[in-house]
Amino acid sequence: MQRHADACVTGRVSPNTFEDWLIGATWNVEHDNPDAADVTHDIKLLLTEHSHGDLSDSDLRAELRQRLEPSPTPIAS
């Protein structure tokens, strides 16, 4: 998903193209990769908000970028 999301974030593909790919690629994400289900659903919600006009293209890209950044690894004490 990272490669396709990056293409949307950088403007190489439109949000609609990314959404079309995402829906097909993550049809059964809960069973195929439960760890990815939460972020996938978050991204689908962002795309829905964008398609309803609640998020601009630049806001969508910023939100996608934020969700796809690696989480910092906690430092063990």
Is 28 inside any structural domain?
A: yes
- How many of the other CB atoms lie within 10 Å of CB of 5? 20
The rounded Cα 57 to chain-centroid distance in angstroms is 13
Is 67 inside any structural domain?
A: no
Domain that holds residue 41: 2-62
Is 77 inside any structural domain?
A: no
CA distance 8 to 29: 20
CA distance 62 to 72: 18
Is 68 inside any structural domain?
A: no
Residue 73: per-residue pLDDT: 56
Residue 77: per-residue pLDDT: 52
Instruction: Give me the residues of the chain with pLDDT under 50, please.
Output: none
Instruction: Using alpha carbons, select from 14, 8, 15, 12 the residue that is nearest to residue 47.
Output: 15
CA distance 37 to 46: 14
